[in-house]
Amino acid sequence: MNKHRVKAFTIMEVTITMLIAGLLIGIAYTSYSIVLKSYHSFTTKNEDVAVLVTLDHLLTRDFEQAQTVIKNEKGIVLTSDDKIVNYEFTTNFIIRDAARIDTFKVQTQSVNTTFENTPVNEIQETEENNRIDDISFMLIFQTEKFPCHYHKLYSSVNLIQRNPNAIN
């Protein structure tokens, strides 16, 4: 009989090693899932904020570039020499219709339009009577309300076209 001893691990050593490895794998998986959930939450919130920033940027730019801002049944129309931009305001989204159509999934409340501090609530017969220089509304973002306000500064030439008797 050959009495060679083979160097090996005992069952107890292997069991303890497997138990420690299992605990480390469990801790790593739990940490990974926490980081993944945090990343998804961060990404979702950033995408929502990006929608708000884009909407604000486009409204600001369209107001600055427009020659006239007219109220219609659905929202407002901003016209300039080379383009027409329509904004439709509903309670659950805002649609911007220009060269392409953009839908901003934001909730709005209390859309108010004025011209020279006079409310423009109802649509009049002539387009000129529906001119506005100010729009304000409440934007609801994740249960918080943000007031939005956009103002159009008309040139004197543009206002004289509205009222030719203004020169006298």
Looking at per-residue pLDDT, the higher value among 60 and 160 belongs to: 60
Q: How far is CA 42 from CA 38, 67, 104, 110, in A?
A: 6, 40, 20, 30
Check residue 4 and report its DSSP letter.
Answer: P
Tell me which amino acid residue 113 is. T
List pLDDT tens digits, range 1-58. 567 887 888 999 999 999 999 999 999 999 999 999 999 999 998 998 999 999 999 9
Mean pLDDT of 88-95: 93
Give pLDDT, residue 143.
84
Over its C-alpha atoms, the chain yields an Rg (Å, rounded) of: 31
Tell me which amino acid residue 45 is. K
- What residues have CB less than 8 Å from 118, skipping those under 6 apart? none
| Full-model pTM | 0.74
Distance between CA atoms of residues 70 and 127, nearest Å: 7
The domain spans of the chain are 11-167
Mean pLDDT of 75-79: 92
Distance between CA atoms of residues 106 and 83, nearest Å: 25
List pLDDT tens digits, range 124-164. 888 888 889 899 999 998 888 999 999 998 877 766 666 65
Distance between CA atoms of residues 117 and 122, nearest Å: 15
Check residue 131 and report its DSSP letter.
Answer: B
- Where is 151: in which H helix or E strand? strand 144-151
Give pLDDT, residue 162.
60
Task: Report long-range pairs for 50-59 (Cβ below 8 Å, ≥24 apart).
Answer: 51/104, 51/105, 51/106, 52/106, 52/139, 52/141, 52/146, 54/102, 54/104, 55/94, 55/96, 55/104, 55/106, 56/148, 58/96, 58/102, 59/87, 59/148, 59/150
Give pLDDT, residue 97.
94
